[in-house]
Amino acid sequence: MKKLFQLLWLLAAPYLLASCSDDDEPAPAPYAALTSSVLFSKFTNNGYIPSGRASEMRVYSGDTLRYFFRFDSNQGIKDLKVYDNLRGRDFPLVVNRTASSVSGGLTSNEYELEYIVNDSPMQAQPGQEIVLTVEPQEANGAVYHNPATGKPFEVKFTVSASSEYKGVKLYNYWGEKRNSLTILDYRIGDSQPQTLVNEPGLTPFAFLTNKMPPRDWLDQRFEHSFTSGPSMGEGQVAYVKVPAAARNWSQPNQIAAAMKQYGPEKTEVNNVQAGDIYAVRVRYPLNNSWVIYGLIEVKSIVDDGGDTHTGNGHDEDYMEFDIKYFPGYRY
């Protein structure tokens, strides 16, 4: 009997030793990682941020930002929550889990957040910072922090304001004061990029200039019309007449949607009347130039009805506009 017991021990020993050896191996070190990407445009798949200029991205009320998160952990995953500083922690944002997998002890979840700027009663004003706090949770509820700061991950952006100009005049094509209105994507003189610049004469990259009348060269009466400069190219500047309520629009996505609703788009506007409002889209034919959406309201038209050639008037007639636009927009 003693010999049988010794034999059973010898047969079982390798398995017992192997079992003890497995129990003695240290558990894998805790591992977790959060990655993310963002699309800044509601109407395209890729958004529009020129190469090397992401830091200049503008965000306006009504913008839709889509964030994609991936959280990996070998400790299991419970959830991923996101809060903003407007609603606070009592109102977490809606985050959808779009994928989940487990491989080699590593759990991987993918999430999507669609964030619309200022879509709640708590509104951020232009110049105010919005902070999104991102908190991935491991299976035990522990929040994974940013290894670089030891704090929860944060996404920050500042709400931008429109650029507005009152009483802007566009003079008669034939007059000595004839001018062009330009919003180039680079500095002109002392003006900052994407500032409205009133340039003398007819400039090639104007987004607004008085149209040459389709009459005899000797007939220099004021043409109540406007178009863009000759170097802008077909379709780079588009105008669409919109309802009077447009003067109260404060979001560029309203303008983008209205141009589709009230089109077709035109590259020149004729028979302009005081009180008309036009939506405008400008994209200059330059590398990495941004798209600008804006509104042109015709405040008044000053026209004596004659011209200097016939001697019964002058050529200093003009249209007066209020212009509002949103620099650096991406559609």
pLDDT of residue 37: 81
pLDDT mean for each 10 residues of the chain (331 residues): 33 36 68 85 44 63 89 97 96 96 96 92 92 95 94 89 95 92 74 85 92 74 91 86 95 91 95 97 75 94 85 87 85 52
pLDDT of residue 329: 62
pLDDT of residue 10: 33
pLDDT of residue 9: 29
- Identify whether 30 is preceded by a cis peptide bond (ω within 30 of 0): no
pLDDT of residue 212: 79
Q: Are 221 and 305 in contact (CB under 8 A)?
A: yes
Helix (H) or strand (E) holding 12: helix 2-24
pLDDT of residue 225: 95
pLDDT of residue 215: 67
User: Strand, helix or coil at 256?
Assistant: helix
Helix (H) or strand (E) holding 13: helix 2-24
pLDDT of residue 14: 35
pLDDT of residue 11: 33
Q: In what order do the strands lie in the sheet with 32-39?
A: 32-39, 64-73, 106-116, 95-103
pLDDT of residue 322: 98
Cβ neighbours around 86 below 10 Å, total: 17
Residue with tokens 């809060």: 83
Task: Tell which residue, 143, 119, 141, has the closest CA to residue 130.
Answer: 119
